[in-house]
């Protein structure tokens, strides 16, 4: 018995822990997602915006100024990468401008890296500038340098190409790029192409002092880490350029740049499509799995709606089951007042108790509205209690009082409500009654319902997988810069998880029937219909008075007592009942509606006070009903 209770408690704990774990995972995911967005937002605020100023003089030589704007405090050690394209770094200097100072404070180049200095390490293709300075909010880092690089003068145009590394930028940072030609030329003759990052040309203007090209780029971490700029402009802008090429290249350069730009746009579109496909995969796979589970559940649900098997012959009762075991075994329902009423009536049939309807003393204190209760008396000369089954002995203990020969259910209810010890004793007896029935049920050969177990297992496993996919979805969306699609994707994924939880609850509560169980239920339903139309039958043709009385407890648990009691009383002489059996229930049967209107309501009220309180949430998930 203890082992049975332990197994039931263990299953209950596992069931509750599973749902608590899923809920905890969803809450952790929500907090983790919010943390990721907060970290991303903080990173965007802490990262610098960048300005690049390029000046091309009449000789085609290039001077570049990089300006980093820090909106928040930055680390004291800052690294800047300067692409040299295998060119020599001719001149360079580093300075800092604070928020309250309009002038640039130039830093000293050292080899020690002390605070307030910088170091330069020039490689083959890049030069690394390491700056040590306590940057504050609103400060700017300024790097000026020049490369041994000249523009190329062709017969019909001049061409210049440059590039910069954007590894020190964060998503959403704005890069402002300005190219100044010292010599003024026609602005409509100037063309610019940006490569590596999506950018735009804001304006091109020419003044007597020179020509300027203003461009802007919003950094996208999913694109290249370098930005390239190619310019063509009239050769009059670099008249003193020693780099002269005797050929026309304007058309070839334009075609090459346009093709390069088209290839880049196609690549960006392809990459974006791949990112969305990957995002959709993490989103669609759990939904497809849920669809498969719903399809399987719908298929099994159709079987539940299939017509009941046709019963050609019926035994009374249909199978060797106690009345107290019918609902738990056949219909998978919890034990209730119906089973206790059937067991009490069975004690009267066996001659242990005499049950008689009597008027209530305190009618206003009872939930039973008939005005009657039951007086239960011990019978002298009754068989030994040792002949009773375990659950029947507990029923005998519940409805008898050692100090009295007769006790009413009204008195028992009053004692339970006002005496703690009596309540505890009755709760113990009820628990032992329930455990005894469960122990007898456990000894039966169970009908394994593999369909339900498989659906519950599949739904549980897929729910865990869906939560994992949800975590991956959030990480991937942020890593692939698809945060705009994350809210609706997250909403769909959460709805999918909630649907799975609801389906799991429905399946857990659903009473799936195998063909064997359907046939079993059909037999008992046929017996119920027999009870309900018993007034149209000649009962003596089917069984004698003692056999029909033995069937009345089954009518109680099947909710079919009214007609059978009336037919039983009218068609048989109750005086013969004690002649052919030990039954003490004749006086009860003679009262019209005594079982449905007095016995069941009285016992139901009694059970409400002696049934130990359980978690209704767990019982709901398991599909249990209450008396």
Q: What is the mean pLDDT of residues 5-25?
A: 53
pLDDT at residue 25, rounded to an integer: 56
Residue 616, domain member (yes or no): no
Q: List the helix and strand counts (H, then E) for the chain.
A: 17, 19
Write b or e for each residue in 76-90: b if 16 or more Cβ atoms lie within 10 A of its Cβ, otherwise e.
eebebbbbbeeeebe
Q: How many CB atoms sit inside 10 A of residue 10's CB?
A: 10
pLDDT digits (tens, 9 = 90+) for 51-96: 899 999 988 888 999 998 877 766 788 888 888 777 778 889 999 9
In this structure, are 351 and 489 located in the same domain? no
Question: What's the number of domains the chain is made of?
Answer: 3
Strands 105-106 and 89-97: antiparallel
Domain endpoint, select from 511, 535, 552:
511
Residue 363, domain member (yes or no): yes
CA–CA distance from 503 to each of 304, 456, 459, 624 (Å)?
A: 16, 9, 8, 17
pLDDT at residue 138, rounded to an integer: 82
In this structure, are 207 and 134 located in the same domain? yes
In this structure, are 379 and 525 located in the same domain? yes
Provide the residue range defining the domain that includes 348. 323-447+514-611
Instruction: With CA atoms as reference, report the closest residue to 86 among 127, 129, 124.
Output: 124
In this structure, are 369 and 408 located in the same domain? yes
Domain endpoint, select from 231, 246, 261:
246
Asked whether the beta carbons of 265 and 472 are under 8 A apart, the reply is no
Three-state DSSP at 164 gives strand
Residue 521, domain member (yes or no): yes
In this structure, are 458 and 343 located in the same domain? no
Burial class of 122 by CB neighbour count within 10 A (0 to 12, 13 to 18, 19+): middle
In this structure, are 237 and 156 located in the same domain? yes
Asked whether the beta carbons of 215 and 229 are under 8 A apart, the reply is yes
Residue 481, domain member (yes or no): yes
In this structure, are 100 and 142 located in the same domain? yes
In this structure, are 535 and 491 located in the same domain? no
pLDDT digits (tens, 9 = 90+) for 332-350: 888 999 999 999 999 999 9
Percent of the chain past pLDDT 70, that is, above it, reads: 85
CA–CA distance from 95 to each of 82, 120, 135, 232 (Å)?
A: 16, 14, 12, 32
Domain endpoint, select from 492, 511, 530:
511
The rounded distance, in Å, linking the Cα atoms of 173 and 52 is 13
Residue 561, domain member (yes or no): yes
Ranges 51-60, 86-95, 117-126, 445-454: which has the least confidence: 445-454
Instruction: With CA atoms as reference, report the closest residue to 517 among 207, 262, 309, 274.
Output: 309
pLDDT digits (tens, 9 = 90+) for 311-329: 566 678 888 889 999 999 8
In this structure, are 368 and 277 located in the same domain? no
Instruction: With CA atoms as reference, report the closest residue to 316 among 23, 60, 543.
Output: 543
Residue 54, domain member (yes or no): yes
* Token code pair at residue 384: 């030994």
Residue 347, domain member (yes or no): yes
In this structure, are 113 and 169 located in the same domain? yes
In this structure, are 436 and 504 located in the same domain? no
Q: What is the mean pLDDT of residues 132-142?
A: 86
The rounded distance, in Å, linking the Cα atoms of 330 and 307 is 17
Q: CATH number of the domain that 53 lies in?
A: 2.60.40
Q: At a CB cut-off of 8 Å and minimum separation 6, what does 99 contact?
A: 136, 137, 138, 139
In this structure, are 343 and 410 located in the same domain? yes
Reply yes or no on whether the pLDDT at 426 is more than 80: yes
Reply yes or no on whether the pLDDT at 122 is more than 80: yes
Residue 235, domain member (yes or no): yes
Q: What is the mean pLDDT of residues 243-270?
A: 89
Strands 174-181 and 49-56: parallel
Grade residue 392 by pLDDT with cuts at 50, 70 and 90. Answer: very high
Length of the chain: 627
């Amino acid at each position: 018995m203890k082992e049975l209770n332990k197994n039931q408690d263990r299953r209950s704990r596992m069931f509750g822990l599973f749902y608590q774990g899923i809920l905890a995972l969803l809450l952790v995911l929500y907090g983790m997602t919010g943390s990721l967005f907060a970290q991303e937002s903080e990173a965007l605020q802490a990262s610098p915006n960048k300005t690049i100023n390029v000046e091309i003089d009449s000789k085609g030589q290039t001077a570049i100024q990089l300006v980093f704007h820090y909106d928040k405090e930055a680390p004291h050690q800052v690294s800047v990468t300067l692409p040299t394209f295998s060119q020599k770094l001719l001149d360079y200097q580093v300075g800092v401008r604070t928020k309250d100072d309009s002038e640039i404070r130039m830093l000293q180049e050292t080899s020690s890296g002390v605070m307030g200095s910088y170091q330069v390490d020039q490689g083959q293709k890049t030069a690394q500038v390491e700056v040590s300075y306590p940057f504050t909010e609103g400060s700017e880092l300024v790097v000026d340098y020049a490369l041994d690089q000249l523009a190329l003068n062709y017969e019909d145009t001049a061409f210049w190409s440059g590039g910069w590394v954007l590894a020190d930028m964060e998503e959403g940072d704005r890069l402002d790029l300005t190219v100044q030609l010292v010599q003024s030329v026609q602005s409509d003759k100037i063309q610019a192409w940006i490569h590596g990052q999506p950018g735009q040309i804001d304006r091109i203007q020419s003044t007597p002092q020179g020509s300027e090209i203003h461009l802007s780029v919003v950094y996208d971490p999913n694109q290249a880490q370098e930005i390239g700029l190619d310019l063509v402009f009239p050769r009059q802008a670099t008249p003193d350029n020693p780099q002269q090429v005797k050929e026309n290249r304007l058309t070839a350069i334009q075609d090459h740049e346009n093709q390069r730009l088209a290839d880049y746009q196609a690549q960006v579109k392809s990459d974006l499509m791949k990112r969305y496909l990957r995002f959709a995969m993490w989103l669609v796979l759990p939904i497809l799995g849920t669809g498969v589970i719903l399809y399987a559940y719908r298929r099994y649900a159709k079987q539940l709606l299939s017509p009941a098997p046709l019963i050609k012959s019926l035994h009374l009762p249909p199978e060797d089951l106690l009345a107290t075991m019918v609902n738990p075994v056949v219909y998978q329902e919890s034990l209730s007042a119906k089973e206790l009423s059937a067991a009490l009536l069975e004690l009267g049939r066996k001659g242990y108790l005499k049950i008689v309807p009597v008027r209530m003393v305190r009618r206003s204190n009872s939930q039973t509205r008939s005005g009657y209760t039951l007086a239960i008396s011990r019978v002298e000369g009754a068989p030994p209690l040792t002949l009773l089954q375990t659950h029947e002995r507990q029923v005998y203990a519940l409805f008898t009082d050692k100090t009295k020969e007769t006790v009413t259910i009204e008195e028992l209810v009053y004692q339970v409500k006002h005496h703690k010890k009596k309540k505890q004793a009755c709760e113990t007896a009820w628990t032992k009654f329930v455990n005894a029935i469960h122990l007898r049920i456990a000894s039966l050969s169970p009908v394994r319902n593999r369909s339900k177990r498989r659906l519950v297992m599949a739904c549980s496993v897929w729910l865990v997988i869906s939560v994992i996919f949800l975590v991956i979805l959030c990480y991937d969306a942020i890593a692939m810069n698809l945060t705009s699609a994350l809210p609706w994707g997250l909403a769909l994924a959460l709805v999918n998880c909630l649907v799975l939880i609801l389906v799991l609850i429905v399946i857990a509560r659903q009473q799936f029937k195998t063909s064997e169980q359907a046939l079993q239920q059909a037999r008992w339903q046929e017996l119920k219909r027999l009870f309900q139309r018993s007034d149209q039958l000649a009962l003596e043709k089917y069984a004698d008075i003692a056999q029909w009385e033995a069937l009345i407890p089954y009518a109680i648990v099947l909710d079919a007592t009214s007609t059978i009691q009336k037919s039983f009383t009218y068609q048989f002489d109750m005086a013969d009942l004690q002649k052919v059996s030990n039954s003490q229930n004749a006086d009860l049967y003679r009262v019209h509606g005594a079982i449905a209107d007095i016995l069941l309501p009285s016992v139901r009220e009694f059970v409400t006070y002696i049934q130990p309180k359980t978690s209704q949430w767990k019982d709901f998930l398991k599909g249990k009903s209450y008396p």
